[in-house]
Amino acid sequence: MAIFIKTKEEIEKMRVAGRLAKETLDMITPYVEAGISTNELDKLCHDYTINVQKAVPAPLGYKGFPKSICTSVNHQVCHAIPSNKKLKNGDIINIDITTIKDEYHGDTSRMFEIGKTSVKAKRLVKISYECLWVGINSVRPGAYLIKDVGAAIQRYAEAKNCSVVQDYCGHGIGRAFHEEPQVLHYFSPKTEDVMLQPGMTFTIEPMINAGKLAVKLLPDKWTVVTKDHSLSAQWEHTMVVTDTGVEVLTLSDGESQPLGLSSK
């Protein structure tokens, strides 16, 4: 499958979709607390996307996915289906939002800490966010997705004694939810690398485990968990390669990269 280089008009539509996705995360933030169920969070996000934003929640019906958002708690790595289970004090949760507006997608996710979380959980949430930004800082024209972006993320995570999930990755995005290229968050000499060019749009979304990298798919055929039951954390942004670097299309107001980070 070809990599689609976006036009200025397409990038502007993706800016809008990205803004709506991050605004949904901003909207839901005050509700993410102990005692609420992930189903309730899903309904709030669904109603906001449909009724307020006049947009479409991309996950709903995607390859049979039954809900409008993904809600991955504690040792759930990604793609967890919202349910009636309520959040409790000490949980960590990733909420993953993808919004379609005027046929283009914006995709982003964020970690939330419920009440008083453990030192280990706080550390993992922080490291996973830093991994995201190490990857973003590696994006520029002429750089390579695997040997520059993926390798930088893996190097940073493993230096912090964490592991990077290798079964799932980031992806190109635009008119389709998932486009080429695949965005690995680790170095793989066996995978053909891709040189970045202005106009490429994709997500970076490293899944970082406190324990080993092995994961398994649950019988629901969606929810992915760590095999060793260790905590997992993930953050995600959609971005476009510019003539001079990168523009993050799902950046929240006031959000900035952690201090002292680079791609080195």
What is the distance between the alpha carbons of residues 141 and 137, in angstroms, rounded to a whole number?
12
| Helical H segments across 118-172, by residue range | 119-137, 151-159
Q: Residues with Cβ < 8 Å from 63, sequence gap 6 or more?
A: none
DSSP annotation string for 35-73: T-BHHHHHHHHHHIIIIIS--EETTTTGGG--SSSEEEE
In a domain, 259, yes or no: no
* Res. 263: pLDDT tops 80: no
Residue 255 within a domain = no
**Residue 187's Cα: distance from chain center in Å?**
19
Give the dihedral of Cα atoms 81, 204, 44, 74; nearest 10 deg. 50
Q: Does any domain span residue 264?
A: no
Q: Would you say residue 254 lies in a domain?
A: no
Residue 1 lies inside a defined structural domain of this protein: no
pLDDT in tens, 190-238: 999 999 999 999 999 999 999 999 999 999 999 999 999 999 999 999 9
| β 163-164/207-209 pair status | antiparallel
At 216, which helix (H) or strand (E)? strand 215-217
CA distance linking residue 48 with residue 21, whole number of Å: 11
Q: What stretch of H or E contains 207?
A: strand 207-209
Please state the pTM of the whole predicted model. 0.96
Q: Is residue 24 part of a domain?
A: yes
C-alpha 72/C-alpha 45 separation (Å) is 15
- Asked if 105 and 174 touch (Cβ cutoff 8 Å), the reply is yes
CB 174 within 8 A of CB 104: yes
**Residue 104, CA distances (Å) to 107, 133, 174 in order:** 10, 24, 5
Q: Which residues contact 230 (CB under 8 A, 6 or more apart)?
A: 75, 209, 210, 211, 212
Q: What is the largest CA-CA distance in the chain?
A: 48
CATH number at residue 160: 3.90.230.10
Q: How far does Cα 144 stand from its chain's mean position? A: 20
Q: Tell me: the pLDDT tens digits for 51-75?
A: 999 999 999 999 999 999 999 999 9
In 3-state terms, what secondary structure has residue 111? strand
pLDDT digits (tens, 9 = 90+) for 127-179: 999 999 999 999 999 999 999 999 999 999 999 999 999 999 999 999 999 99
Helix axes 151-159, 119-137, angle to 10 degrees: 150
Of 205 and 258, the one with more pLDDT? 205
Count of structural domains, the chain: 1
Name the residue range of residue 120's domain: 8-248
| 107 in a structural domain | yes
* pLDDT score recorded for residue 264: 43
